Structure 1
Amino acid sequence: MSKLGITLDSKTNVFFPNSEVNGILNLNTNEEHKIKQISVTIIGRAYVCFEELHGDEKSLDIFTFKTMHFYINVNTLLWKYNGMNQLSNGQNLFPFKFEIPSNAAPNLSEKHGDIVYYVKANIEFYGKKRSKVQYYGFSVCPIIDLNLSPELKLPTSVNSTKTIKNCFSRSENSLKVTMSLPTTGFVCGEIIPLKIDICNKTSLKIKSLEYGIGLKCTYTGNTGKSFFYPPFTHIKEQSLTLETNVVKAILMEIKIKKKVF
C-alpha cells in the first residue's frame, strides 16, 4: 500500500505571480519493489466554454465558443528506478520546486469558465496499468500596490434619482440615493465602509435596501474563425430592512473575501 501527501511552503496556500514555490512529496509505502517511477505535474489552466444562438425565422444555429490556456504546465521526474536506487520501506520525501509566471491570473470559478492551479503527483507501478494519483490545489493572487496609482486613494460616489408622478395632483417628487466610498481602491481581505444617503421626497415608504459587491467577468471563446466577448455579472447581496420616508444617512460595511474567486 502506498500513501501520498503534498505540501507547499505557504501556510495560507496562496502564492504570487513571478515567485518560486517549494514543495515536498511525501510517500509512505510498503511496495518499494513495485514502484517504477514518481513524478509531479504542476498545472495552471484557464478554460472557457459557452454557446450562442444565431438565426432567423427559418433556421437556428448553435455556435460553441471555447478555449484553453496554460499558465503553467510543467512535469518533473522525481525518481525512477535504475537498478540501483531502490526506495526504502516507509517514508520517502521528494522535494520539488516550480515558478509561477508573472502573467499568471488569479483563481476563478464562474458560470462559463474557470482558472485553476494544482499539483498532480503520479506513481507508476510495475505490472499495473493504473497509476496512483494525488491532486493538491493552490491559489494565485496578484500583488496589488494601491500606492502606485494615486487616483485609487481618492473618494468616489455614485447617485441615482427616480422621479415619481402623483396622478391626482400631477406633481413630481424625487427619490435620490447616493453611495459614497472613502477611497476608490481596495484589496482582498479589506473592509469597505459604505455611506448611503437617501432623500425621499415621495409619499412612498421604503421597505428594504440591498447592497453588495459585483463581479464582472469577460469570457473569450474561439470557434476557429472568430472571437466573442459576452459580459457576465454576478452580485452577492445582503438585505437590510429600512422603514423611512424622509432623509436618511446609513453607514454599512462590506468585507472583501481573502479569496474573491
Structure 2
Amino acid sequence: MESEATINFKGLAEAAKICKYFLTTDKNLEIHLNSDEFRPNEKAKGMITFRTETAVKPAEIRVEIKGAADTTFYVTNAITTKNTTADRTHYYFTETYLNYQKILYEPLKESDELEAGNHEFPFEFTIPEDAPPSMDEGQGKVRYSIKASVETPWTIKSEAKAEFIVLPYLNLNAYSKLDEPRISKIEKGRLLSSKQITATVSIPKTGYAPGEVIPIKVEKNKQSVLSISLPVPELLPTLEDCANITLEYDVIVEIQTNAYVSRTSKTSLPIIIGTIPLKAKK
C-alpha cells in the first residue's frame, strides 16, 4: 500500500484582488495622485484638475478620501426540509480607517467665477498607521477611494472617483520565534491491518516573505524522506489587527493512500507572511 504526499500553499488571501478604477461623470474633471500605492504613515499628494470651456460659478469643489473594511456573511438559523428553504440572518460590519474631506474651492462673493481653461486644486492627506492592506476577497473587502465633485448651480453635479492601494509593511523580525522550526505529524491507519502510516512534516521557520522558498520535509515511517521546495508568491501580508477581517496563511500537507476508506489525511502548518524577510541567523 503506497502513499503520496501532496503539498498545498493555502491562505485566505489566495484569491485577493487589488482593485483600481477611475470613473467620472465629466471628462473635464480628473483626479491625479503622486502614486497609486501607499504605505501606512505615508503622505499622499494629489491634484484635482477641472477644465471648463466657458466661465462658471461653482458653489464648491470638494475632495473626499475614504478607507474602510467591509465584511458580510450569512448565518443559517434553521432549514425547513419541506420547502428546502433556509432561515438566514445577514450580518454586515464596517470599520472606517480613513475619512477626510476638504473644500478645495468656494467663492468668497457671489460674483466670483472660474474663467475658461484648466484649473488645478492640490490636496494632501496621510495614510493612517493602522490602515490594513487593500483587498477584495469574497466576504471581506478593504478599499481606499477618492471622490472629487464640482457643484454648480442649475447643472448636474460633476463627479470623479478613483481607488488607490494601501500595502502595509510587515517586518518579520519584529515577531519572536518565527525563526524556529515547526513540526507536525500525520498518522493514518490501514484497512484490515494493524500497521499505520506515520508522517512527520517540518519546516525550518514560520516567517516568510514573497520571493522566498519554503523547504518542506516529509519523513514517512522514519524511513523515506521527501523534500519539497515551495516558492512564496506575491501575497498580501498576514493581517491580525483588523477588527472585521483576518488574513491567515497555512502550509497544508496532504497524505493520499490507496486505501478503500478514508484515503486522505492532512496537517496544517500556520505561517506568517511579511514584507520584510527574517534576517539570517549568525
What is the TM-score normalised by the length of structure 2? Answer: 0.62
Of 138, 151, 156 in structure 2, the residue corresponding to residue 111 of structure 1 is 138
Q: Note the aligned Cα RMSD (angstroms).
A: 4.0
SS in 1 for 2:114: coil
SS in 2 for 1:143: coil
How far is the alpha carbon of 1:138 from its aligned partner? 1.1
Which residue matches 2:165? 139
Which residue matches 2:217? 197
Which residue matches 1:91? 118
How far is the alpha carbon of 1:24 from its aligned partner? 0.9
How far is the alpha carbon of 1:110 from its aligned partner? 1.8
How far is the alpha carbon of 1:137 from its aligned partner? 0.9
Q: 1:194 to 1:236 in 2, by over 3 A?
A: closer
Q: After superposition, what is the alpha-carbon deviation per residue over 1:153-203, rounded to whole angstroms, capped at 9, x for unaligned?
A: x14233332334264xx352525252424x43234xx323122223446xx
1:184 aligns with 2:206: yes
Distance 1:236 1:8 in 2: 38
Which protein has the bigger strand share?
Answer: 1
Check whether the contact 1:212–1:235 (CA below 8 A) recurs between aligned residues. no
SS in 2 for 1:147: helix
How far is the alpha carbon of 1:139 from its aligned partner? 1.7
Check whether the contact 2:214–2:231 (CA below 8 A) recurs between aligned residues. no
Check whether the contact 1:14–1:138 (CA below 8 A) recurs between aligned residues. yes
Distance 1:120 1:179 in 2: 49
Q: 1:80 to 1:25 in 2, by over 3 A?
A: same
Q: 1:234 to 1:198 in 2, by over 3 A?
A: closer
Check whether the contact 2:134–2:141 (CA below 8 A) recurs between aligned residues. yes
1:72 aligns with 2:98: yes
Distance 2:214 2:168 in 1: 25
1:157 aligns with 2:179: no
Check whether the contact 2:214–2:230 (CA below 8 A) recurs between aligned residues. no
Check whether the contact 2:73–2:90 (CA below 8 A) recurs between aligned residues. yes
Check whether the contact 2:147–2:159 (CA below 8 A) recurs between aligned residues. yes
SS in 2 for 1:62: strand
Which residue matches 1:40? 63
Q: Which amino acid aligns with 1:21?
A: A
Check whether the contact 2:57–2:113 (CA below 8 A) recurs between aligned residues. no
What is the TM-score normalised by the length of structure 1? Answer: 0.66
Q: 1 or 2 for the larger relative contact order (CA 8 Å, sep ≥6)?
A: 2
Q: Which amino acid aligns with 2:71?
A: V
SS in 1 for 2:212: strand
Q: Which runs of 5+ in 2 are unaligned?
A: 1-25, 253-272, 276-282
Which residue matches 1:245? none
Map 1:228-239 to 2 at 5 A.
Answer: none
Q: Which amino acid aligns with 1:69?
A: E
Q: 1:56 to 1:30 in 2, by over 3 A?
A: closer
1:102 aligns with 2:129: yes
Map 1:14-53 to 2 at 5 A.
Answer: 14-33=37-56, 35-53=58-76
How far is the alpha carbon of 1:80 from its aligned partner? 2.0
Distance 2:52 2:251 in 1: 46
Distance 1:90 1:47 in 2: 40
Check whether the contact 1:48–1:220 (CA below 8 A) recurs between aligned residues. no
Q: Which amino acid aligns with 1:185?
A: G
Aligned residues: 219
Q: Which amino acid aligns with 2:132?
A: A
